[in-house]
Each structure stands twice: as structure tokens, then as C-alpha cells.
């Protein structure tokens, strides 16, 4: 099961990479945006999620809407102790009401919240955090409305629900302690639409109190004009494009999405309505400042009455509140309106603001210059600003809540106490638990008060008082007074430095032994040092954010932030005084190579100095301390990070200390950034650099006895992070003894690390001017290492000045071989000999053919017809010299995929009329692109957004090939690049009419023929040449073509190119073999080959077998040689496999217990293994579907297996089985069950004795998880060391509590450990299994409480290795299979020894290159491993030999 999870994660990684590649070209993040990386991250994440949802819907797994809802529901809800939360119904509409628990003197404000989500997504749970915040910070009663969602409940159901809930609440407000005259309605996005519509619907209701206000957060308010400035400017920012707005709306209305394009053009609006609404919806009313980023007046298009009839509700004020009449607008309540600069809906808000103000409605407008659609939902710093503008909470308050949501982790080795000294809260054992654990150190974390509520110098006094308290009470904590260290990170390091300086004069206290400063901020004089310039925009701490925090620390508004940034706050005299200490001249030149420009002199501004003069004090900028202080400082350890604005503060302080004779240990993280240590210990968010820093910090002081760390707590901003490639490589658990550059190491690393997408990196590098996208992708693709193939002779040659690679089988042939010319894909711009190495090798090896891979020239450097000419010349050369390579000239095939399929078809046509050459034997075209006339065929419409090849990219590549640029791509996509007369000429060959109807059922809309301008056609007229578009060749050429093989994929834009060519060939009498992958997509052959490449390095992997897996769909149909029967044995479900062939006598039977850690697996999962065993061994196989944990804990699985076995043994003759020839068998957890059942039945005299037991990589004990194999393979898939303990705990207890104690061995009583040491000990493991590294483990102190929870581990039915010798010696003949790279390896070795010591015959099969779960992959095609097949065959031989 874990393997399949691994495969899923690998596939998910590829999908992420593909999403990054295809979405990066669409992402338009302005260069002035200060958090561009974060915005890119959100863009990719959102697009990937949406794309994955579409994909899952297309493959029939789950609907797009259901998946997205489930994803959103995964956001954990927030429970607030300050609020009373109730789920109620208002007029049958579900609501959740949030009431502050604190008492109030009067009635509260009421706020009704309508969530966003396009009317299809979102829920009360999803918006839980936002509503809690509104309720808590505004002291209001908040009602979140869970209205019905489309498409199940289309418009106007959501509006009706919101209106009904609002009316009910207004009528019953006093029941909830709400003042009826102070009710506010609020909503974001589509919820803003509902808010505006409800507010308008209530203006004429005299039976209800008037609404106090409406809050509209980036609302969608009109569907008249999709060419307003904001729609044009922000079309590529985030995933919320105008197309997506309309898609959501059409689904909301339950309308056909094919209407979208016409609506976007404005064809749905009659002229009279356009004129009517022009006074309200017009770009003329958008202030000029919002058009600076570009605006082009829209083109008018003809009105469609039919379209208007279909989408008439779009003009209704319920959906378009901006279109309400003036009489309605004039009565609306006070309004708060929030818009975002980078949001397509920005202008909807601006236009509504103008309408409201024109009618005298008071409007509070908040415009986020760096905001984008969905900002408030993302709970970022921007959200804090919004809530602050609303008067609900401050941005820092929001940030604290977000940070406090990071779950703490507990350490079983530490005693942690919370104390309080004066105003400072203390926690014993703190920021770095690794320091406490590794150094045997008492660590003190000081939770000082925070600004701006407690401004400077409050924090400084808290840290000082807490430090003084503990230095005076050290004996209570068993701390050596001579070994006190003060430590901190970021601003905490600032406090640590200041306190160290102050304590120098405290003669009544012990001297501080050392100070540890992690990326400290030590001065506020110069914000133009090299590091401040180089890392100004590097997460997590931007340069502006440093100054912003300074202002907030002083509880002042950052009004003069820009002046401080320019150092205008520092008097000239002070600059001169401190220049000797704070100057770029004191920074080593090696730290300036990334760019540094000395700051131009700036004028001192006294008013700025007066506003923020405190930051120049010594208690704020300890770097300014006099030398008389610095020279007395204790030994220091300083950590700096290369990508940190504060780097130079640390470097300057290091220099000052060293100049004054203070010993300094300096650690510089070349790949570190500010805050990196905070990610230490957070799983996938951990950084190797952070661990290195922590390890160096923990070992920096070689001091005996116990030390005392005082660590000021700091405020950290956490953002989404990714591993760097080098960090990820080092973190991967390549088995000890296997170097990372070995075959196993390389493939293992590729298999387990998250794959980065070179396409995206290439685009990024191209955007910043380092190299072109194509160059980078080609470089990365060519890095795939390939080993030696013993069966092939491989040579790099030149055929007529064209580089080729030829693959010749080494085995002698009795006759001349077949020849295959292979042209790789890659859109004519990517791909190489190296990229397609594995495919060519496999073709040559498996078909015993001579394969020639052609390295043709690539576009855009070498435009058409360069690639075609290279392929043609290489083919002609090969055909003329074929006998030189031992090949039959009459048996040459041309083959290619994608663009290579295009080249293969073009070459084949060119050679069809050549009388001086032998005729080609065949052509193989794998999802070929064969025409560029019509990009609106059914497949182009149906699969326009399906990876790996979008419709836009198909045009992109062909234009790069033809012209080397993307001019007129839109015209090509629209079909206006070819004159109508030419289209009509080729319509007999390129027409949707020639596509079978079954390929149109997923939706197809005929396109109107568009004419083109001569200029456009002149640029692309060569599209009509058959050497570029082989589908356009004349019939006289087509009928001469050889036998053809064409492969198409259902989810491929190029599908119809293949179908049309197939028809043309068949119409002209050419034999065609057609293979259509019902669930295939473009590039699937190449992708699967990559997986095969990775896996081949671990065990010999058959890559094309995976392709056969896709072709077959992996559907196990009827088995002609077996009878399959689902039955019950002792009320346990089983599946029985019996050979159909009549036997010579009673058969052998194997009762099979599947693996899966007792929690996964089924009879279906192991169907192919059981079929194979039954078929090959001619035995009856019974697969047992036992109950699974954690729902059914131990001994449920064991009892089911035992009962099924007993029932079968008693009734074996019914199945034609010899009762004396029954075997129990299982893999992994199933092997554990097989061993336990075998031991139980060993003493049963009422049953025949079992003939044998077969244990495949069994888990047989839970005493010692530190045996050699557990250490060596702790990070090797598919079962990690931690996962082995996890599964055992789930089986016994139904949970994974105490897993850490179990791993450390503290669950085993000392007497029991001694008792079983003779059986469970590394001493019983042969030395050759320890050469990859083994360190004897000292068990942790016994924990009786844990033992009581897991004592089931010591029952022999859970740990068969612990059975007594009297039982072991009664066991039948045994077969044990172990794998070298498996944590459970030593369980099998120890059991093997026990059996042999007690005289039980054992057949042992050890797979030197095997890993846990490999047998399950024996027939998984490209994931097949020869080792797995070999192991299974050994099992079959064992059964047949009984």
C-alpha cells in the first residue's frame, strides 16, 4: 500500500510540475509587487488544484465541484474559547452564530456574513476563522449563512437563502442580544454580490428595521462589460481571470459553458440595454489613475438574441446589483467597499462606489495597492490590514493568531514548565529543544510582552528581569553559575546582546559564559549596507519590514518609513562618529559580489529623527556600544545567513568583537535566510541548513556540566517554503553503503525527492535574463544519466551531417535485422538523443532491431524546414547504408511521437515517390501533430486545458517551429490565419465532419469560418505545405504510403489529427493498425518511460511493460485457466482460485494472507499475485479478506485468518485439495499472520499438520526497532522505520500513541528484554548484514505506563518470533523471503535462525536489490522489478516442490 502511496505522490509531483510549467506563462505578477514569490505560489497552488479537480472529473473519479469543496473543507476550523458557537437554522437555512462570551452593558452589533466561492464552493466551516475574528475583535454577534450551492441548487437559490436568513435574523435579533438597528451584512467575492443584492431587496421593506451598513469585499457586481480596465490589466494575475469568473457564473446558472466566448465579447447585451447601462457601467467612470497599467477600448460585436434569451438573468439586479435603478441605490445604507489593485473585479467596486456616492450614500473605501482577489481569505499580513481598516483588529494581532496556530511538538526527553517572573512569562526548555536534549542544557525561553501594546523598552526590561531572576536562582535548576549562556534570534538576539552588555557591570552576579546570536539585528543607522540591498525582497524579512517592525516596536505609525529607509533619520555628526563601526567598508568584499551600490548622500531631516530617535539608542542598537564595553563581552557565537537583510549586522558585530580581543565562533549559512532556524523540526517544512545551524549551535560550546540558555522569544513570519535541490538530495534516505552517485542512489533520490520542473525554472531564468527557457529545459533534460546496456552496442555517429545514436543488439542474428528510424518529440524545440535514450534502448532490445535516434536541429534557433531536412537526410543515408549495419533495406520503419510523429509522416511521404530507394516497411505515429489549419476540431475544444499539451501550446510550438516567434498566435487559434478558399479546399481532409460522432459526445461546438488578412497569411502560409502539415498531402502521395501504426489518446488535443490521418490512409487503401488509449493523454508514453528509468536503477525495470499496463487499463478480466469464486470460510470473506485443468490427484492449497500493515490491502489488491501463484503452481489459492485495523484491532485479523484456515482444512476435500498439503502464506503483515496461525495450529491434534509456511518479508516482532536493518533502511521506501511502528500500534491499539517510546525501546521491561535477547538480538544477525553501518542502541529507561498500553506486542500471536522453542520445533517446512533494503529484513533473518536452530527445514531467498513490497510489483509493468518476479517464481517453485 505504501508503494502505491509513493507512486501517487510521485504522480502528484509530476502534476504539480506540469501545472507550474503550463501556468507560468499565464502568470502576470507586476514587478512592483513586493511579495511576488508569494503571489506566484498562490497562483500555482490555485491553478494546480483547479486543474487536478478537472482531471479527476474527466477520469471519472470525482466531480470537479466535489473535489474543490472537499479541499476547502480540509481547512481546519478554529475553536475560540472567547466565543459561544451555535449551529441553527433560519427559515430552514443552516447558519452558525458566534456570540462573545464576555458580558456587555447593552445590545451588540449584529453581522450577517455571506461567504464567497462563486456560488459553488465555500461553507460555514471554510470561513470559520474569519467569522470568529469578526466576532471576537468587533465584539459583535456574527451569523455565517450556509446557503445552498450550485450546480445542485442553481440561481436564485443562494440569494433566496441569504435573504430569508437575513429577514429572520432582523426579526429575531433581540433574541441573540443584538440591536436591530445595528445589523450589518457582509460578504466577499460572490458573497459580496449576495450582500449587495440582499441590501437592495430590503430597502423597501417597511416591516423591518433599516440595515446599518453593508460591507462589500471585492464584490462581483455586473456582467455587462468584461473589457473594463481591471479585466484587461489583471487577466493573468492569479487564477481568477475573467474566463473563470464567467465559468463560475454559468455553472451557477446551470448554463452551457460554450456560451462563454460570446458573452465575453458582449454579444449577450442588446443595444438598448447597452445604452441604458452605459451611464453606470463604462470605463469613462474609472479614474485615470487606474488605467495607467494599460487599457484598450473594447471592440463591439453583433448582438445575439438567442444568447440574450439564454443568459437574461445576468441583466437582473440580483446577479448584477450595479444595474439597480437609482431609486433603489439612493436608499442603501452606509457602505464599506474594499477593492484590490490586482483583481479583475476591481472596477466593479469602483463603479459601485461612484454610484453610491452620486446618490449621497456614505462610502468608506479601502483600496489595497498590492491586493488580489482572495487576499482576505488567505489570512496573511494583507488580511490584517483589511481587518484593521474595518476597525476589527490590527495586522499584528492577526499575525500572532496565525503564528500561534503552529502546533507545538512534545519531547519525551524534556521536562517543560511554565513559570512567571514579574510581567515576563517563562517556559523552561524552549525555542530549540534540540539544544536542551543534545547539550544536557537547561534552556529558558522568555515570552516577553509584545509591541505595540507594550512598546520599547518593555521587552528589554522583561528579558533583563527574567535573566536576573534566574541568575539569582540557578541552584533551584541545578545550573552551574559559571556556565550561563544568553541566546536569541533576530530581535531576540538584539535583546541578548543588550542584556550581555548591561550585565558586565553587575558584580553581584556570575559572569555570562557566552552569548549565542542567531542572525541578529544590531543597528538602525544604515539600511543601505550590502545585505540590505542584496536581500531587500528576500523572504521572510524584507528591508521595509525591518523598518516597519521598528516603528511598531515604538508604537508609532510608519509615516516616515521611506525617509528612514534613505537614512534621513541619522544626524551627520552621528554618521561620522559611528562610521568606523557601521560602514560597508568593514564588510568583506566577498559579500558584495552579488551587487552593492554605495548610497548617495541624503539630507538629514530633524522631524524624521525626532519621530524615531529611540532606534539610535544603545539599548536598541547595541552595535553602537563603546569599545570599553565591547572588550569585556564574553565569548560569542554568531550565526549569519547569506540571504538575510541582517547578515551585515552580524558581520560588523563579529568584526568589532574580534578587534577588541573577544573570541568569536562564526557560522555562516550559504543557503540560509532569515528565520530558517524556526523551520527546524517541522517535517516537510524543515530545512537541512536549519538543522546544520542547530547542530553547530548545540555543539559550539565544549563545556561540561549543565548550562543555562536564556532565549528571548521572537515574532516570526512564516511563509510557504520549498527545499533547495541540494538540501532535498541530502535529506533523502539513500541506504547506507550506497553512494548517492551510484545507480541505486541516483534512482532512489529521484524516486523519493519532490521533482522540480525545469520548464518553470527555465521560464523564471528567462524572465530574469539569465538564459532562455528552452536552453535551460534542454540542459536539464540532457542531465539524465544512463548506464551501460550489456545487450546493446550503442554508438554516436553522423548521418549526412546529422548527429544520430545507433542501437544494435549484440546477439548475433541469423538474418538481417529490422531498422527503426526514431524522431523524438518535444514540439520541435525540446528533446534530444539523451531524453529518449530509454525508449530507443527498449525498442532495440525487445524487438531485436537496429534503432537510429536522430538528433535533429531544434527551433527557434533552426526554423522550419531544418528539423524535417535533418530527419530526411538521416533516413536516406541510413537506407543507402543499411546493410553496413546488418539491416534489411526492405525492412526500415520510421517512427516518432508528437512533433516526431509529424516528422515521421513528412519523411515517409517524401520517400514514397523515391524510386532510387527501397520502399519503407512501415510508419509508426504516436499522437502525431499533422496539421495547423484548424485548432478548433473537437479534440482541441474538449482537451484545450488538459495536460500535458494545451491547445495554446500546440499553436505555440508550431509557430516556434515555423517562424521562431509567436506572432499571430491568437489568429492561428481563432482560425483566421488561413483564407476561406484554402480552408474549403482542404475541408475534405481537415473537417470535424470526418471525426466519428462518438468522439464529439464530450462536447463540440462548430466554428464559424473566419477570413484572414493577407499580412497574417503571408506569415504562416507554409502551414499549407505537406512537409509541415502531412495531413494536407495529395491522395497520389497518400496511397503510396506503407503500412501504418497510429496511436491516439482520448485526452489529447492532437487526437483528431491522428483520427483524420487514419481515415485518409484507409480511404486510400493503406493498411492501418490503430491503438486508442481511452484514458491516455499527450506525452503519456514519454512520462511512463521516465518512471521506468528511475525504477530500473533499483531493480531491472521493464519500461514498455508500463505502457502495456496503460493499454490494458489494468483491468483484470476473466482468467481462462482459473475458476474464481468469492465465498466465506467461517464467516470470513475469501476468494478462491482453482485451476480449470483436471488434476491427476488432489491439489496443494495455499491460504494467502495479504499485507498492508494490518490496516490496508484486500483480496482485490492481491488479485494478480494469487492468480499467478494458482496458475503457475497449479494449486488452489485461497485469499483471505480479514478485518482491518484500526476499526478492528488485534486480535481480529489473526482470528479471521485462523478461523478461515481451520474451516478450509476441515473442508479441503470439497475444493479437491489434499488435507495434508495445505500451506499458509503471506507477505509483510500477512506473513506475520501466517506465522501466528502456523504456530497456533502446530499443536492441534484434531487437524492435519500444515505442509509448509511461506513468509514474504515478514514483520515478526515489536520489541526492537533498532536492529541493523531498521537503522540502515530507516528512510528507504516503502516501509520506513517509523511506519513499521505506526502500523504495529494501529493493529494492537488502534492508534499511534507512544510511537516514539516504542521506537526508542522504552516499552520493553528489562527482565523481558533479557529473556528474549537470545532470540531478538543484533548478535544473531550475520556480520555481512552490518557492513552498511550499524550502531548498537542503548534502550531508553523503561516506561511502565507505555508497557501497559502495548503489552499485546509480547504475545506470540503478534510477535511470532517470541514463541517458545517447544512451539517452534513443531513448525512445518518454511520458506522465508527477505530483502536487503527493507527494515523488516532482520525479522526474517532472526526467525530463519530460530527455525534452523530447532531443526525446521528452511528455504531462504534473499533479494540483494529488493525492497519491501517488491513482490507486489512483479507484474505492474513499468513498475515491475525482475527481482520481484524472481522472488515470486522461487515461491512457486517451492510450492511445486512440496
The residues carrying an active-site annotation are: 1228, 1382, 1412
- Judge whether 648 and 654 are in contact, CB under 8 Å: no
Q: What is the DSSP string of 264-332?
A: HTTTTS-HHHHHHHTTTS-GGGS-GGGSTT---PPPP----HHHHHHTGGGGSTTT-GGG--HHHHTT-
CA dihedral 1380, 1382, 1386, 1389 (to 10 degrees): -50
Q: What cell numbers appear for 1058 in the block?
A: 491522428
Which residues lie below 8 Å from residue 243, measured CB to CB, with a gap of 6+? 260, 264
CA dihedral 984, 989, 992, 997 (to 10 degrees): 140
- Judge whether 1335 and 1270 are in contact, CB under 8 Å: no
Q: What is the DSSP string of 654-718?
A: HHHHHHTT--EEEEEEEEEETTGGGGTT-GGG--HHHHHHHHHHHTS----S--EEEEE------
Give 395-404 contacts, CB < 8 A, sequence gap 24+.
Answer: 396/450, 396/452, 396/552, 396/715, 397/137, 398/133, 399/715, 399/717, 400/450, 400/715, 401/133, 402/718, 403/715, 403/716, 403/717, 403/718
CA pair distance 514, 439, nearest whole angstrom: 15
Which residues lie below 8 Å from residue 361, measured CB to CB, with a gap of 6+? 329, 330, 332, 333, 334, 335
| Nearest residue to 1177 via CA among 1417, 1370, 1375, 1371 | 1375
3-state secondary structure of 113: strand
Q: What cell numbers appear for 1093 in the block?
A: 528509468
Q: What cell numbers appear for 1061 in the block?
A: 490521418
- Judge whether 1197 and 1331 are in contact, CB under 8 Å: no
Q: Strand 93-100 to strand 1072-1081: parallel, antiparallel, or no bridges (unpaired)?
A: unpaired
CB-count exposure of residue 967 (10 Å: 0-12, 13-18, 19+): middle
Provide the 8-state DSSP code for 527.
S
CA pair distance 545, 565, nearest whole angstrom: 10
CA pair distance 787, 797, nearest whole angstrom: 19
Q: What cell numbers appear for 1134 in the block?
A: 475469501
Which residues lie below 8 Å from residue 734, measured CB to CB, with a gap of 6+? 740, 744, 745, 748, 749, 1275
Bridge partners, 367 (sequence order): 339
Beta strands in 49-107 (DSSP E): 83-90, 93-100
3-state secondary structure of 165: helix
Which region holds residue 683: left if phi is over 0, alpha if psi is between -120 and 50, else beta? Answer: left
Query: What separation in angstroms does the CA of 852 have from each of 811, 911, 1134?
Result: 17, 17, 52
Phi, psi of 739 (to 5 degrees): -60, 150
Q: Strand 83-90 to strand 93-100: parallel, antiparallel, or no bridges (unpaired)?
A: antiparallel
- Judge whether 1298 and 1350 are in contact, CB under 8 Å: yes
Query: What separation in angstroms does the CA of 1210 have from each of 452, 1181, 1370?
Result: 79, 16, 20
How many Cβ atoms from other residues are within 10 Å of residue 1's Cβ?
21
CA pair distance 877, 874, nearest whole angstrom: 5
Which residues lie below 8 Å from residue 594, measured CB to CB, with a gap of 6+? 530, 534
CA 1396 from centroid of its chain's CA atoms: 48
How many Cβ atoms from other residues are within 10 Å of residue 228's Cβ?
27
Amino acid at each position: 500500500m505504501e508503494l502505491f502511496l509513493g507512486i501517487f505522490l510521485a504522480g502528484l509531483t509530476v502534476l504539480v510540475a506540469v501545472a507550474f510549467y503550463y501556468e507560468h506563462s499565464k502568470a502576470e505578477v507586476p514587478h512592483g509587487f513586493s511579495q511576488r514569490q508569494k503571489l506566484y505560489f498562490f497562483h500555482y497552488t490555485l491553478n494546480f488544484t483547479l486543474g487536478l479537480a478537472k482531471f479527476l472529473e474527466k477520469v471519472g473519479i470525482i466531480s470537479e465541484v466535489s473535489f474543490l469543496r472537499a479541499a476547502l473543507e480540509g481547512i481546519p476550523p478554529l475553536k475560540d474559547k472567547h466565543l459561544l458557537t451555535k449551529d441553527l437554522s433560519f427559515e430552514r437555512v443552516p447558519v452558525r452564530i458566534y456570540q462573545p462570551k464576555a458580558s456587555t452593558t447593552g445590545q451588540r452589533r449584529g453581522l450577517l456574513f455571506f461567504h464567497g466561492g462563486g456560488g459553488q464552493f465555500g461553507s460555514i466551516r471554510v470561513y470559520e476563522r474569519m467569522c470568529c475574528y469578526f466576532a471576537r475583535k468587533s465584539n459583535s454577534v456574527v451569523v455565517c449563512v450556509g446557503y445552498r450551492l450550485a450546480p445542485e441548487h442553481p440561481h436564485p437559490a443562494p440569494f433566496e437563502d441569504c435573504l430569508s436568513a437575513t429577514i429572520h435574523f432582523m426579526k429575531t435579533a433581540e433574541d441573540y442580544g443584538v440591536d436591530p438597528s445595528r445589523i450589518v451584512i457582509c460578504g466577499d467575492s460572490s458573497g459580496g454580490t449576495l450582500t449587495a443584492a440582499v441590501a437592495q431587496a430590503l430597502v423597501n421593506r417597511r416591516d423591518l428595521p433599516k440595515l446599518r451598513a453593508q460591507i462589500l469585499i471585492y464584490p462581483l457586481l455586473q456582467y455587462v462589460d468584461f473589457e473594463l480596465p481591471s479585466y484587461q490589466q489583471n487577466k493573468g494575475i492569479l487564477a481568477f481571470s475573467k474566463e473563470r469568473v464567467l465559468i463560475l457564473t454559468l455553472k451557477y446558472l446551470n448554463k452551457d459553458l460554450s456560451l462563454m466566448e460570446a458573452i465575453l465579447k458582449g454579444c449577450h447585451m442588446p443595444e438598448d440595454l447597452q445604452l441604458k447601462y452605459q451611464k453606470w457601467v463604462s470605463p469613462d467612470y474609472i479614474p485615470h489613475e487606474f488605467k495607467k497599467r494599460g487599457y484598450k477600448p473594447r471592440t463591439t460585436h453583433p448582438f445575439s438574441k438567442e444568447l440574450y434569451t439564454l443568459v437574461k438573468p445576468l441583466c437582473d439586479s440580483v446577479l448584477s446589483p450595479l444595474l439597480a435603478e437609482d431609486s433603489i441605490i439612493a436608499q442603501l445604507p452606509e457602505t464599506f467597499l474594499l477593492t484590490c489593485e490586482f483583481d479583475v473585479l476591481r472596477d466593479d467596486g469602483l463603479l459601485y462606489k461612484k454610484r453610491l456616492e452620486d446618490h449621497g450614500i456614505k462610502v468608506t473605501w479601502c483600496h489595497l495597492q498590492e491586493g488580489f482577489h482572495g487576499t482576505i481569505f488567505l489570512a496573511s499580513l494583507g488580511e490584517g490590514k483589511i481587518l484593521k481598516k474595518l476597525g476589527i483588529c490590527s495586522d499584528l494581532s492577526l499575525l500572532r493568531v496565525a503564528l500561534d496556530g503552529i502546533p507545538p511538538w512534545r519531547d519525551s526527553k524534556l521536562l517543560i514548565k511554565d513559570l512567571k517572573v514579574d510581567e515576563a512569562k517563562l517556559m523552561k526548555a524552549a525555542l530549540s529543544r534540540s539544544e536542551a536534549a543534545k547539550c544536557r542544557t537547561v534552556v529558558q525561553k522568555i515570552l516577553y510582552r509584545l509591541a505595540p501594546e507594550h512598546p520599547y523598552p518593555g521587552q528589554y526590561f522583561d528579558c533583563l528581569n527574567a535573566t536576573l531572576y534566574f541568575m539569582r536562582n540557578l541552584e533551584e535548576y541545578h545550573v552551574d553559575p559559571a556556565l550561563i549562556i544568553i541566546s536569541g534570534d533576530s530581535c531576540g538576539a538584539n535583546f541578548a546582546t543588550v542584556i550581555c552588555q548591561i550585565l558586565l557591570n553587575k558584580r553581584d552576579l556570575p559572569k555570562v559564559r557566552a552569548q549565542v546570536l542567531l542572525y541578529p539585528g544590531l543597528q538602525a543607522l544604515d539600511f543601505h549596507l550590502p545585505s540590505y540591498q542584496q536581500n531587500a525582497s528576500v523572504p521572510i524579512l524584507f528591508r521595509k519590514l525591518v523598518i516597519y517592525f521598528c516603528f511598531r516596536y515604538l508604537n508609532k505609525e510608519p509615516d516616515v518609513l521611506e525617509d528612514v529607509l534613505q537614512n534621513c533619520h541619522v544626524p551627520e555628526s552621528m554618521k561620522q562618529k559611528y562610521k568606523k563601526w557601521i560602514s560597508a567598508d568593514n564588510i568583506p568584499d566577498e559579500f558584495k559580489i552579488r551587487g552593492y551600490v554605495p548610497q548617495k548622500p541624503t539630507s538629514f531631516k530633524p522631524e524624521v529623527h525626532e519621530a524615531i530617535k529611540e532606534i539610535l539608542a544603545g539599548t536598541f542598537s547595541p552595535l553602537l556600544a563603546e569599545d570599553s564595553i565591547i572588550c569585556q563581552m564574553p565569548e560569542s557565537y554568531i550565526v549569519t545567513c547569506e540571504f538575510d537583510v541582517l547578515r551585515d549586522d552580524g558581520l560588523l558585530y563579529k568584526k568589532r568583537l574580534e578587534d577588541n580581543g573577544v573570541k568569536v565562533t562564526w557560522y555562516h549559512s550559504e543557503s540560509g535566510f532569515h528565520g530558517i532556524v524556526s523551520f527546524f523540526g517541522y517535517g516537510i517544512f524543515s530545512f537541512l541548513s536549519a538543522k546544520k545551524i542547530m547542530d553547530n549551535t548545540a555543539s559550539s560550546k565544549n563545556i561540561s556540566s549543565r548550562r543555562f540558555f536564556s532565549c528571548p522569544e521572537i515574532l516570526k513570519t512564516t511563509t510557504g517554503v520549498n527545499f533547495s535541490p541540494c538540501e532535498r538530495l541530502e535529506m533523502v534516505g539513500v541506504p547506507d553503503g550506497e553512494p548517492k552517485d551510484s545507480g541505486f542512489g541516483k534512482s532512489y533520490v529521484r524516486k523519493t525527492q519532490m521533482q522540480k520542473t525545469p520548464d518553470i525554472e527555465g521560464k523564471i531564468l528567462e524572465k530574469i535574463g539569465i538564459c532562455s527557457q528552452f536552453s535551460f529545459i534542454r540542459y536539464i533534460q540532457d542531465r539524465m544519466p544512463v548506464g551501460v546496456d550489456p545487450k546493446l552496442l550503442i554508438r554516436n555517429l553522423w548521418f549526412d551531417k546529422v548527429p544520430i545514436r545507433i542501437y544494435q543488439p549484440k546477439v548475433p542474428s541469423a538474418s538481417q535485422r529490422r531498422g527503426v528510424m526514431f524522431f523524438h518529440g518535444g514540439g520541435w524545440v525540446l528533446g534530444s538523443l539523451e531524453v529518449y535514450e530509454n525508449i530507443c534502448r527498449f525498442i532495440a532490445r525487445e524487438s531485436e532491431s537496429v534503432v537510429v535516434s536522430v538528433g535533429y536541429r531544434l527551433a527557434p534557433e533552426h526554423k522550419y524546414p531544418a528539423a524535417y531536412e535533418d530527419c530526411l537526410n538521416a533516413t536516406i543515408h541510413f537506407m543507402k547504408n543499411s546493410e553496413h549495419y546488418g539491416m534489411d533495406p526492405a525492412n526500415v520503419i520510421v517512427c516518432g511521437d508528437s512533433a516526431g510523429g509529424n516528422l515521421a509522416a513528412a519523411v515517409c511521404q517524401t520517400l514514397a515517390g523515391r524510386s532510387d530507394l527501397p520502399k519503407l516497411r512501415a510508419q509508426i505515429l504516436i499522437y502525431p501533430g499533422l496539421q495547423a489549419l484548424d485548432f478548433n476540431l473537437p479534440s482541441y475544444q474538449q482537451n484545450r486545458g488538459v495536460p500535458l499539451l494545451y491547445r495554446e501550446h500546440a499553436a505555440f510550438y508550431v509557430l516556434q517551429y515555423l517562424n521562431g516567434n509567436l506572432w499571430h498566435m491568437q489568429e492561428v487559434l481563432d482560425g483566421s490565419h488561413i483564407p476561406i478558399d484554402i480552408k474549403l479546399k482542404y475541408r475534405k481532409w481537415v473537417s470535424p465532419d470526418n471525426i466519428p460522432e462518438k468522439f464529439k459526445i464530450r462536447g463540440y461546438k462548430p466554428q464559424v469560418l473566419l477570413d484572414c488578412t493577407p499580412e497574417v497569411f503571408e506569415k504562416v502560409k507554409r502551414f499549407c505545405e505537406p512537409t509541415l502539415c502531412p495531413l494536407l498531402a495529395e491522395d497520389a502521395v497518400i496511397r503510396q504510403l506503407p503500412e501504418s501504426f497510429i496511436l491516439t489518446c482520448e485526452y489529447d488535443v492532437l487526437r483528431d489529427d491522428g483520427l483524420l490521418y487514419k481515415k485518409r490512409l484507409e480511404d486510400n487503401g493503406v493498411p492501418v493498425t490503430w491503438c486508442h488509449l481511452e484514458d491516455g493523454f499527450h506525452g503519456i508514453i514519454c512520462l511512463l518511460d521516465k518512471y521506468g528509468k528511475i525504477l530500473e536503477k533499483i531493480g531491472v525495470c521493464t519500461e514498455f511493460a508500463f505502457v502495456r499496463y496503460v493499454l490494458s487499463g489494468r483491468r483484470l478480466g476473466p482468467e481462462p485457466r482459473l475458476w474464481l469464486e468469492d465465498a466465506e470460510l467461517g464467516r470470513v470473506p475469501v476468494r478462491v482460485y482453482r485451476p480449470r485443468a483436471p488434476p491427476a490427484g488432489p491439489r496443494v492449497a495455499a491460504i494467502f494472507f495479504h499485507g498492508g500493515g494490518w490496516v490496508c490491502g484486500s483480496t482485490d489488491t492481491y488479485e494478480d499475485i494469487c492468480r499467478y501463484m494458482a496458475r503457475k503452481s497449479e494449486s488452489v489459492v485461497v485469499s483471505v479478506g480479514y478485518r482491518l485495523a484500526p476499526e478492528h484491532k488485534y486480535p481480529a485479523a489473526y482470528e479471521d485468518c485462523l478461523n478461515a484456515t481451520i474451516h478450509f482444512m476441515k473442508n479441503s476435500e470439497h475444493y479437491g485439495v489434499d488435507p495434508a498439503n495445505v500451506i499458509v502464506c503471506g507477505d509483510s503483515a500477512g506473513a506475520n499472520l501466517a506465522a501466528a496461525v502456523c504456530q497456533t495450529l502446530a499443536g492441534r491434534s484434531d487437524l492435519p499438520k500444515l505442509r509448509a509456511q511461506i513468509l514474504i518479508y515478514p514483520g515478526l516482532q515489536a520489541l526492537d526497532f533498532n536492529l541493523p536493518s531498521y537503522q540502515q533502511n530507516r528512510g528507504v521506501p516503502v516501509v520506513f522505520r517509523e511506519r513499521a511502528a505506526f502500523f504495529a500500534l494501529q493493529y494492537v491499539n488502534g492508534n499511534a500513541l507512544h510511537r516514539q517510546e516504542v521506537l526508542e525501546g522504552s516499552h520493553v521491561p528489562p527482565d523481558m528484554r533479557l529473556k528474549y535477547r537470545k532470540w531478538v538480538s543484533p548478535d544473531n544477525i550475520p556480520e555481512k548484514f552490518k557492513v552498511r553501518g550499524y550502531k548498537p542502541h542503548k534502550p531508553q529507561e523503561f516506561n511502565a505506563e507505555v508497557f501497559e498500553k502495548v503489552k499485546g506486542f509480547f504475545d506470540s500471536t503478534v510477535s511470532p518470533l517470541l514463541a517458545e522453542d517447544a512451539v517452534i520445533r513443531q513448525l512445518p517446512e518454511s520458506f522465508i523471503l527477505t530483502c536487503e533494503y527493507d527494515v523488516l529484513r532482520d525479522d526474517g533473518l532472526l526467525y530463519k535462525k530460530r527455525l534452523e536452530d530447532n531443526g525446521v527445514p528452511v528455504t531462504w531467498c534473499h533479494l540483494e536489490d529488493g525492497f519491501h513490497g517488491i513482490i507486489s510489483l512483479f507484474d505492474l509493468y513499468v513498475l515491475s522489478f525482475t527481482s520481484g518476479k524472481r522472488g515470486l517464481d522461487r515461491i512457486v517453485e517451492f510450492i511445486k516442490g512440496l
